[in-house]
Amino acid sequence: MSVAPARAATGPAAAAGVLGVEALTCRFGGVVAVSEVSFSVARGEVFGLIGPNGAGKTTLFNLVTGLTTPTAGRLRYQDRDITGLPPHRIAALGIARTFQNVRLFGELSALHNVMIARHVRTRSGLVSGVLGLPFARAEERVTRQRAMDLLALVGLADRPGEQARNFSYGDQRRLEIARALALEPQLLLLDEPAAGMNTGEKRGLSDLIRGVRARLDLTILLIEHHVPLVMDLCDRIAVLNFGQLIALGPPAAVQKNPAVIEAYLGDEA
């Protein structure tokens, strides 16, 4: 498996890049899920987040996207403090995500799932929508078209009308990615996108992520357990264990880091 050329690691000064996580801490009662984690993600990077189960990776995603409020620390997105903002505002600013346990709108069709995520990029309200004013109708047409394009991008254009819950697990994950892309984000958070996929699907996913990053000029933050995928795709990797950041750097370096090896105790897939 080829290794993607590593991007030049940018120093902290220049990495007032896309996302800045500063001493982020999250406590649930007595449990510290995330403890004083700091890193920054540069523009255009594919940044991997790995660690044993329960290390706090998804909690970190929830903190970045506003689903959980941090107990301490700050979050910066493109030089803007987004700590404590609600999820829909963070989405409007350009951060989109997929979920560890796929959270599609099951009853709705694939097309509608993707169309919903264009909500923040459109503006027609209740009255103009109900009355069918020209502005609203035009927006609907564009929304539909863009949604179809995204379905085609992930290879699901053949069944736009099918209910999302009828799709296979792997297809659902791709649909979730299409939905997240409909938000027109600059930062895309993927939470274990390869879970439940076979080798062929994983390769397809890898190509998709690379393609999407290039075509849409995205920065990608990726949680993944499948080590070869992570090594292949990521420019840099952060390793969490028990909520703490124990290593950060290019994949090759991280792989050899003794603290990381100990954390996994030889648990490499």
Residue 185 sits at the vertex; the CA angle it makes with 119 and 103, to the nearest 5 degrees, is: 65
SS3 of 75-131: EEECCEECCCCCHHHHHHHCEEECCCCCCCCCCCEHHHHHHHHHHHHCCCCHHHHHH
The residue with tokens 């505002």 is 89
The residues binding another protein (CB under 8 A) are: 28-29, 58, 62, 65-68, 86-88, 91-92, 96-97, 99, 103-109, 111-112, 115-117, 119-120, 122, 124-126, 129-132, 136, 139-140, 143, 160-161, 179-180, 183
N-terminal to C-terminal alpha carbon distance within the chain: 15
Q: Write down the least CB distance from residue 105 to another protein, Å.
A: 4
Q: Write down the least CB distance from residue 192 to another protein, Å.
A: 15
- Cβ distance to another protein smaller for residue 162 or 204: 162
Q: Write down the least CB distance from residue 172 to another protein, Å.
A: 13
- Cβ distance to another protein smaller for residue 80 or 256: 80
Alpha helices in the chain (DSSP H): 57-64, 87-93, 110-116, 126-131, 134-153, 169-182, 199-215, 227-233, 251-256, 258-264
Q: Write down the least CB distance from residue 113 to another protein, Å.
A: 9
- Cβ distance to another protein smaller for residue 126 or 265: 126
- Cβ distance to another protein smaller for residue 94 or 170: 94
- Cβ distance to another protein smaller for residue 44 or 54: 54
Q: Write down the least CB distance from residue 116 to another protein, Å.
A: 5
CA distance 218 to 244: 27
Token reading at 37: 């984690």
